[in-house]
């Protein structure tokens, strides 16, 4: 129903919507290519949940590329998403000691596009590691530091709101607390990350 209300967007428009954070564009994109990945994963011994995870991860790869402004498409968006999903699913399968997928589409095959795909995925892996590490570090940071940082950096709450929420006497005090928490997080994060 939603799609009939809005004009069908081209791949170009979808990517622009994705960059600007439009929910409508993301919704359309999501629904447009999900059946393809669902079909791919299901024909290769995966479940619906596997398909969802793989597809969402592929979209994260795409999203982070778009947000960092470093997206270079050397093929159709569809092929890009298929190839990324395929690689990610292959990785999953390798962990289950299977090394083949039966293709339902042709993945990227020319050298330039393959290079870029590999680059994108290694960047993604790095980011994945950072992400996991960050989640781990935040866990180990303990309260109230964790919530404070999450509120400020992730929920984008204002310093004033945080002061009130945590019952600090003033915003400067809250700032100092936040800075101390950040320094602790830094130590935790980099002690792992640098290794």
Three-state helix/strand/coil letters over the chain: CHHHHCCCCCHHHHHHHHHHCCHHHHHHHHHHHHHHHHHHHHHCCCCHHHHHHHHHHHHHHHHHHHHCCCCCCCCCHHHHHHHHHHHHHHHHHHHCCCCCCCCCCCCCCCHHHHHHHHHHHHHHHHHHHHHHHHHHHHHHHCCCHHHHHHHHHHCCCCHHHHHHHHCCCCHHHHHHHHHHHHHHHHHHHHHHHCC
Among 6, 8, 10, 35, binds another protein (CB under 8 A): 35
Q: Closest approach of Cβ 97 to another protein, in Å? A: 25
d(CA 128, CA 130): 5
Q: Closest approach of Cβ 15 to another protein, in Å? A: 15
Q: Closest approach of Cβ 48 to another protein, in Å? A: 8
Contact between 88 and another protein by CB under 8 A: the answer reads: no
Q: Which is nearer to another protein, 156 or 167 (CB)?
A: 156
Among 8, 10, 12, 30, binds another protein (CB under 8 A): 30
String marking each residue 122-161 x if it binds another protein according to CB under 8 A: -----x--xx--xx--x----------xx--xxxx-----
- What sign does the CA torsion over 143, 149, 154, 158 have? positive
Q: Which is nearer to another protein, 6 or 115 (CB)?
A: 6
Q: Which is nearer to another protein, 127 or 175 (CB)?
A: 127
Contact between 12 and another protein by CB under 8 A: the answer reads: no
In the complex, the residues that contact another protein under the rule CB under 8 A are 23, 26-27, 30-31, 34-36, 38-39, 42, 48, 52, 56, 59-60, 63-64, 67, 103-106, 127, 130-131, 134-135, 138, 149-150, 153-156, 182-183, 185-186, 189-190
């Amino acid at each position: 129903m939603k799609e009939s209300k809005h004009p069908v967007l081209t791949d170009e428009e979808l990517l622009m919507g994705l960059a600007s954070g439009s929910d409508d564009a993301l919704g359309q994109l999501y629904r447009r290519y999900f059946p393809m990945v669902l079909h791919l994963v299901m024909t290769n011994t995966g479940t619906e949940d596997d398909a969802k995870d793989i597809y969402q991860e592929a979209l994260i790869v795409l999203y982070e590329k778009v947000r960092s402004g470093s997206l270079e498409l050397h093929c159709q968006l569809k092929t890009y998403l298929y190839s990324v999903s395929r690689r990610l699913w292959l990785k999953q399968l390798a962990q289950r000691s299977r090394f083949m997928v039966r293709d339902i589409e042709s993945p990227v095959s020319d050298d330039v596009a393959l290079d870029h795909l590999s680059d994108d995925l290694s960047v993604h892996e790095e980011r994945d590691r950072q992400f996991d590490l960050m989640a781990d570090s935040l866990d180990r940071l303990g309260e109230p530091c964790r919530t404070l940082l999450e509120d400020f950096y992730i929920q984008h709450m204002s310093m004033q709101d945080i002061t009130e929420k945590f019952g600090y006497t003033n915003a400067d005090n809250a700032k100092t607390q936040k800075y101390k928490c950040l320094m602790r997080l830094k130590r935790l994060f980099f002690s792992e990350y640098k290794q």
